[in-house]
Amino acid sequence: MRIVIAEDNALLREGMVLLLSSNGHSVEASVGAGPEILPALRNHRPDLAVLDVRLPPSFRDEGLRAALAARRELPDLPVLVLSQYVEETYAAELLAHGAKGVGYLLKDRVGRVDQFLEALETVAGGGTVLDPEVVTQLLSRQVAARPMRNLSPREQEVLELMAQGKANNAISEQLVITERAVSKHIRNIFDKFNLPPEGGSVHRRVLAVLTYLGHDIQES
């Protein structure tokens, strides 16, 4: 696949280029600063972007903000974010724009080559890859453990499709039910998970998906 990398650590950046190239991928561009990311993505239109969270010039959240901007401008672009730490606010916002083709891994996982390459393939294929620590921190801050067993079989199906990044109309088509029925099932999921209404429907949708993903990790 064709990949664009954004990583300010030259050694890690060149190591990823070598690793990906030796495994049959093409690194179209490798940049080291936040302002370089969007131009590279616009120019190369890659199959996947691998972005570090903290990049020059401020070393705060340039990579994650670039990921959010890229997802708005190029909505079908799969993005895998790498970080030393869990940036909770931006991680939740990234998921709020749809969990399809999104990954968030802590850099410790990059050293595990097989897992890293598998994560790349999953995200590029439209799947979701979240580091267990990311899920744990987001859930512990905003969502207490909420058992899936409270959901009906249909509600579980709807939630699983939400976790795949599908919109309500796509869920209704796949389950052969009306969009009104989908909306009702989603409201029931929110109620059964006791999700706070203050954050709005998008925020609650993210929390519901995180609950599902967190349950999936615990079961595995």
| pTM more than 0.85 | no
Regarding whether 164 and 106 lie in a shared domain, the answer is no
Q: Is the predicted pLDDT of residue 98 greater than 60, yes or no?
A: no
Q: Which of 39, 59, 58 is nearest to 49 (CA)?
A: 39
The domain tally of the chain equals 2
Q: Does the pLDDT value for residue 24 go beyond 70?
A: yes
Share of the chain above pLDDT 70, in %: 80
Q: Does any domain span residue 136?
A: no
> Does pLDDT of 219 surpass 90?
no
Residue ending a domain, among 131, 165, 186, is: 131
pLDDT > 90? residue 41: yes
Residues 101, 161 within the same domain: no
Whether residue 51 sits in one domain with residue 86: yes
Is residue 169 included in any domain, yes or no?
A: yes
Q: Which residue has the higher pLDDT, 203 or 105?
A: 105
- Note whether residue 53 is domain-resident: yes
Task: Judge if 83 and 160 occupy the same domain.
Answer: no
pLDDT in tens, 187-215: 999 888 887 675 555 567 877 877 776 65
The answer to whether residues 19 and 89 belong to one domain is yes
188/123 same-domain check: no
Has residue 56 been placed in a domain? yes
Query: Based on the number of CB atoms within 10 Å of its own CB, is 182 exposed (0-12), middle (13-18) or buried (19 or more)?
Result: buried
User: Any bridge partners for residue 51, and if so which?
Assistant: 6, 81
Specify the pLDDT at position 204: 79
* pLDDT the model gives residue 78: 93
Domain with 25 in it: 2-131
Average pLDDT, the chain: 82
Q: Could you report the per-residue pLDDT of 124-140, keeping only the tens digit for each?
A: 998 888 777 776 666 55
Burial 31-48 (b: 16+ CB within 10 A, else e): bbebebbbebbeebebbb
- What average pLDDT does range 9-26 have in this prediction? 93
Note whether 171 and 147 are same-domain residues: yes
- In a shared domain, residues 212 and 149: yes
What per-residue confidence (pLDDT) applies to 182?
96
In this structure, the answer to whether residues 12 and 107 fall within a common structural domain is yes
Task: Give yes or no: residues 74 and 117 share one domain.
Answer: yes
Domain of 172, CATH number, reads 1.10.10.10
